[in-house]
Structure 1
Amino acid sequence: MAMGRRPKLAIVGVVTRLLVVAGVFGMLSAPVAAESPKAGGTLTVGLAADIQHFDVFQALGYEAIWALGNLHAGLVRVDANGQIVPDMAQSWEVKDEGRTYVFQLQPGITFHDGTPADAEAIKWNLEYIIDPANKANTRVFFTPVASVEALDATTLQVQLKEPSADFLMVLAGYRQGFLVASPTAVKRWGKDYKFHPVGAGPFKFVSWTPGQEAILEKNDRYFKPGLPYLDRIVLKTVKEATTRIGAVRSGELSFATWIPLEMVRLLEGTPGVKVETSPIYSVWDLRPNVQSLPFDDIRVRKAVLGYGLDRQQIVQVAFGGHGQPTVSMLTPGMPGFNSLMEVYPYDPHKAKALLKEAGYGPDNPLRFTMLSPTIEPAFTNVPTLMKEQLARIGVEMKIEMLDKVTWMDRFIRKDDFQLTFGNLTGFTIGAFAPYFETTSAINFANHTDTRTDELFKRWRTTVDPAEHARVTEEVQRYLADTLYLVGFANTPFFHAAREHVKGYWFVDKLLLNFETAWLAR
């Protein structure tokens, strides 16, 4: 597995005119194997949760992102080292002081349905995302776009309203990146497109039985010669971690995702199995609903989510000592990371004082419910420990466990929650903008603070490196002050595979790529 390193943000200077030509797709950062890749075979992958669905514009959850990334192609991608590399675009040029991007496409690319994946199709996808009526999850990333034009079948021009510090990374690696769907298929299926995805990636969609498995098979017309090597991928839902681990140990599964931290050592000594991780680009975060009681009150947020939590104990007990405590919403892999632990040191007395000021105490204890998904033991361990810690400051917390898809629907689509938590993964803080900006369809906290929008806009449009670093620090501290979301731990992430599975790569929870995967048997 190719290990990652900290990605470099493409900051466009005032007089920069960048021409990137990479013509040969062999430049893609695939792991180098001691033996030549072999074509053929089926890779059976165990997922820790159901795939929500396959609509590339709306899907949530890492399992969906992993599947969509193997079904679709984009203009550019992030490789295993966090570097921006060609995908459908074989070269690109940045002009007009960073306001104009011109992409030269690989000629002759087609979608899985046989329709052209040309500049017009890509233009359609960008305009679909930008249209607020479609409520695309990643729309806020594309607000800087002024216009999109297909100059010819293989030339796409994107004009921005102002220079952008991260537009290429938006396309390459924010969430699933900008993945291109067949306009014909989206129009044909309408709301049912989520059951009939059509991309131009290395694998094409065959079938999906929700809660059981999804089947992908080789795209014989893939535009990268010789790829993929695998004939088929079967994505099986195996929610119980011990079952998933037992299946990869026995060989029933070739690959098991999302290995719980406390089970890593159990697998490490298993003959024929490799357990692998990557640099940390994720943060475990607490997510209050600030539109309703009790977390509409900043004093309550500071008491419960700040001073009332012993983050060090959470890392030691709930995560078995793996990782580090944090307050920041940045991750250790991001430029400008600072844990900000000094902002909210564990201070039960200060937490109690804030709760008293907010009207809570022995005669009127603070009560609320925390939602948690049943993905891995940490999602039980963390709220259980939090409940014990918060009881010390007189808070009564109830825990409600839900399957992952129901959990996402409750807190993202229905706003039916008081507090929940999860983990986010990204290469820069800009990747988290949809979870904070007030106009976003996935503004987790449901806040209306437009100062947050202004800060993220400044972050995106500040191209001077020194000033960009200052804005990064300002964003980081403002998020800690407001507590719309707040970090509490950074931990490593693990997958496990049989030794004969070669050539795949992943970056934390964000990317899981099987384009170059092959089976050595």
Structure 2
Amino acid sequence: MNSQITRRGFLGGAVLLGGAALVGCAPDAQRQQAASPGTLQDGTPRRGGRLRLGVVDGDRAGTLDAHKPLTIGSIIRGFAVYSKLWEWNAEMNWSPALAEETEANADATTWTVRLRQGLEFHNGKTITADDVIFSARRLTDPALGSPWAALLFTLDRERIDKVDERTVRFHFKDGKGFVPFPDTFTNFGAIVPVDYDPAKPVGAGPYKLKEFTPGQRSLFTRFENYFKDGQPYADELEIIDFQDEASRIAALQAGQISLANGIGADQVRLLQGDPRVSVVVSQTSNWQSFDLNLSKEPFRDERVREAFRLLTDRKELVERALSGHGRVANDLYSPQDPTFDRSIAQRPYDVERAKALLKAAGQENLQVELVSGEGGDAAALVFAAQAKKAGVTVTVKKVDAATFNGPRRLDWTMSTGGLLTESFLSSALHLDAPVSAANKTHFSDPRFTELFEQAITQPDVARRAELVHEMQRIQHAKGGLVIWGFNDALDAVSTGVGGVVPEHTQFATWRFEKLWVKETT
């Protein structure tokens, strides 16, 4: 099949863009390899009952704003209330949701999207092209100040055309193509009505908001006219906020909640042998990293950066920090992307070479502070012990989520990191591209910038791969991300809940429309 974009038929409603967005999931047997023996896939879906999900979220203020979710709790609540043009499927590729058809022109300078017939918001209003245009403009409105607007930096807000009541055509600045448009818009591009009020949110998701007490709980009721026939199954969904993992796990074991997403690997051991709970393991390409700030000493020096990569025992980090629930990484993200360069050799663990590089850089007996955010403490402490072998003293500073993600988030000299896997270009827009949303490493390389600007407009997958391969070699040699591992997503699920299936994402317990209560009272 010609990899150049042309006007073509649609596969399941999503166009194949040079191989960048492949629709469909791996066989169930392949996904099942990532599941624990107790994965809850049995049973026939039934209607009724209340699902109760516990989340750990340090934000006491809370928010339900569709386009400005700032914490994990806000993002998860958005999965209940809102729907998007596209959604992430089980293989972490975009697939159609509200969109019936998606088509890019030959050079990806325009994307045309047609809505499904008869879509409704929670208030009964028909979803039209006007709502899509409003939503895209709201997300990218500087006045809103969404941190996610940068992901759509090239969208021309003034040239979003209404073709008809169900069809919208998107254009991009300077007439340039934008290959990762569906990826980036799928992140936080919820479709809301033109009279949207975040204080009284209306969406098109599987559940309607009934009650919301920020920092405590939110209650939702089933949306009967949800666009997926027969779903959702439960009458109600309740999301309860916890301040720490221990209290959330205790609530799960006591039957006060039925789902706990993204539990720590250390919690798995506590749940082993409990017949009331199953742990669902999803093998993902979500990565864990140590982020080096290249705008500060000692990491301005490439020799120091290389030394830190070499003194990182990745296998030990996976075994100890992730309790074996993951796999070793090689300082590069998005291994599932078809343009990923698999020829780059795995960086070795070499303490002696690291010591030699530090000596050459005049950084013997180096002392560095490593700031650890929520979930990064175990890795930080393991790394600190590893660094001692090379004569480096790493002081771990633990901070709460609000501090870690606050005004200083781009200023730490060294910090723990990690991100949900996406396509290479979309991930770069989050991390280290010249227009990235949160460049913690302050990575800036003229050749990398030049290549990125070419790649993001290149629809041909083979030509784009050549550009990405060179970009990844630059990242591997000069970048500030020490990506040491890919972690599994671990979800704890009561045996009274059905429909939780392992994926290659972290969304197994967020697919609220697919989950059901096995027994209702």
TM-score by length of 2: 0.82
Partner of 2:352: 349
Asked if residue 329 in structure 1 is aligned to residue 332 in structure 2, the reply is yes
Distance between the aligned counterparts of 2:220 and 2:343, measured in 1? Answer: 43
Alpha-carbon deviation of 1:73? 0.9
Please state how far the C-alpha of 1:420 moved relative to its aligned partner.
1.0
C-alpha separation in 2, matches of 1:209 and 1:290:
41
Deviations 1:358-385 (A, max 9, x none): 3323xxx43232111244xxx2221112
From 479, 487, 496, the counterpart of 2:475? 479
Show the counterpart of 1:395: 392
| Cα displacement (A) at 1:158 | 1.8
Tell me what 1:169 maps to: 183
Any conservation in 2 of the 1:279–1:333 contact (CA below 8 Å)?
no
Name structure 2 gaps, 5 residues minimum: 15-22, 29-39
Which residue in 2 is equivalent to 1:156?
Answer: 168
Q: Find out whether 1:17 has 2:8 as its counterpart.
A: yes
The residue aligned with 1:78 is 88
Match of 1:369 in 2: 369
SS of match in other structure, 2:483? strand
**Residues 126 and 232 of structure 1: is their aligned pair in 2 closer, same or farther, counting only changes over 3 Å?**
same
Q: CA deviation at 1:267?
A: 2.9
Structure 1 pair 451–73 and aligned structure 2 pair: CA distance change class (3 A): farther
Q: Which amino acid aligns with 2:405?
A: M
Q: Which amino acid aligns with 2:190?
A: L
User: CA offset at residue 341 of structure 1?
Assistant: 8.1
SS at structure 1 position matched to 2:208? strand
Which residue pairs with 1:6 in the alignment?
A: none
3-state SS of 1:180 partner? coil
CA distance in 1, matches of 2:224, 2:258: 23
Q: Aligned pair 1:275/2:283, yes or no?
A: no
Instruction: Please tell me whether the aligned partners of residues 370 and 398 of structure 1 are also in contact (alpha carbons under 8 angstroms).
Output: yes
**CA deviation after TM superposition for structure 1 residue 140, in Å:** 4.1
Aligned match of 1:190: none
State whether structure 2 residue 393 is matched by structure 1 residue 421: no
- Opposite residue 9 of structure 2, the aligned amino acid is L
Tell me, in whole angstroms, the C-alpha distance in 2 between the residues paired with 1:28 and 1:330.
Answer: 22
Say whether the 8 Å CA contact 1:302–1:483 is kept in structure 2.
Answer: no
Alignment check: 8 A CA contact 1:331 1:490 kept: no
- Deviation, 1:489, is 0.9
Q: Secondary structure at the match of 1:18?
A: coil
After superposition, the Cα gap between the structure-2 partners of 1:439 and 1:162, relative to the gap in structure 1 and judged at 3 Å, is closer
The aligned amino acid for 1:154 is: R
What is the CA–CA distance in structure 1 between the aligned matches of 2:207 and 2:2, rounded to whole Å? 33
Between stretches 272-281 and 262-271, larger displacement belongs to 262-271
Structure with the largest fraction of helix? 1
Pick closer, same or farther for the CA change 1:84–1:508 going to 2, 3 Å.
Answer: closer
CA contact (8 A) 2:80 2:205 kept: yes
Q: Which whole-Å CA distance do the structure 2 matches of 1:431 and 1:207 have between them?
A: 34
**C-alpha displacement of 1:343:** 6.0
Does structure 1 residue 138 correspond to structure 2 residue 148?
yes
Query: Matches of residues 58-457 of structure 1 in structure 2 within 5 Å?
Result: 58-96=68-106, 98-112=108-122, 117-132=127-142, 134-146=144-156, 147-160=159-172, 161-172=175-186, 176-186=187-197, 193=198, 197-304=201-308, 306-337=309-340, 342=345, 344-361=347-364, 365-375=365-375, 379-412=376-409, 415-432=410-427, 433-449=429-445, 451-457=447-453
Q: C-alpha distance in 2, partners of 1:54/1:452?
A: 37
1:64 positional shift? 3.0
User: Which string of whole-angstrom CA distances, capped at 9 and with x for unpartnered residues, describes residues 218-265 of structure 1?
Assistant: 334434443322232222233443443333233222111122224435
Kept in 1, the 8 Å contact 2:43–2:498? The answer is: no
1:515 match: secondary structure: helix
Specify the SS of the correspondent of 1:252. coil
Which residue of structure 2 lines up, in the alignment, with residue 503 of structure 1?
Answer: 499
Q: Show structure 1 runs of 5+ residues with no match.
A: 1-9, 187-192
Q: How far off is 1:284 after superposition?
A: 0.6
Distance apart, 1:149 and its partner CA:
0.8
Structure 1 22/316 Cα, relative in aligned 2: closer, same or farther at 3 Å?
A: closer
C-alpha contact (below 8 Å) 1:370/1:420 kept by paired residues: yes
TM-align CA RMSD = 3.3
Q: Which amino acid aligns with 2:98?
A: M
**Alignment check: 8 A CA contact 1:326 1:341 kept:** no
Summarize deviations over 1:294-348 as a string: whole Å, max 9, x none: 33333332222x1222222222222233322222322443435567884642222
Report the Cα offset of residue 387 of structure 1.
Answer: 1.3
Tell me the distance in 1 between the aligned counterparts of 2:466 and 2:76.
33
Measured against aligned partners, the alpha-carbon deviations of 1:405-455 in whole angstroms (never above 9, x if no partner) come to: 33211543xx34221112211232123122212333422223444544433
Select the residue among 32, 48, 52 that pairs with 1:40. Answer: 48
| CA distance in structure 2 between the aligned counterparts of 1:167 and 1:11, rounded to whole angstroms | 21
Q: One-letter code of the match for 1:497?
A: V
Contact 2:24 2:91 (C-alpha < 8 Å) held by counterparts: no
Cα distance in 2, alignment partners of residues 155 and 238 from structure 1: 42
1:108 deviation in Å?
Answer: 4.6
Q: Is the 8 A contact 1:46 1:236 kept in 2?
A: yes
- Map of 1:4 onto structure 2: none
Amino acid of the structure 2 residue aligned with 1:434: H
Alignment: residue pair count: 490
- When structure 1 is superposed on structure 2, of 315-324 and 54-63 the one drifting more is 54-63
**1:69–1:179 Cα contact (<8 Å) kept:** no
- Tell me if structure 1 keeps the 8 A contact 2:370–2:380: yes
